[in-house]
Amino acid sequence: MANHKSSIKRIRSNAAKRLRNRYQAKTTRNAIKRLRSTTVKADAAPLLSKVISMLDRLAKKNVIHKNKASNNKSKLTKFVNALS
User: Structural domain tally of the chain?
Assistant: 1
- The DSSP string of the chain is ---SHHHHHHHHHHHHHHHHHHHHHHHHHHHHHHHHT---HHHHHHHHHHHHHHHHHHHHTTSS-HHHHHHHHHHHHHHHHH--
pLDDT tens per residue across all 84 residues of the chain: 788 999 999 999 999 999 999 999 999 999 999 999 999 999 999 999 999 999 999 999 999 999 999 999 999 999 999 998
Nearest to 58 by CA among 44, 48, 68, 45: 68
CB atoms within 10 A of CB 30: 10
CATH code for position 61: 1.20.58.110
Domain boundaries, position 65: 5-82
pLDDT in the model for residue 41: 95
0.75 exceeded by the pTM?
yes
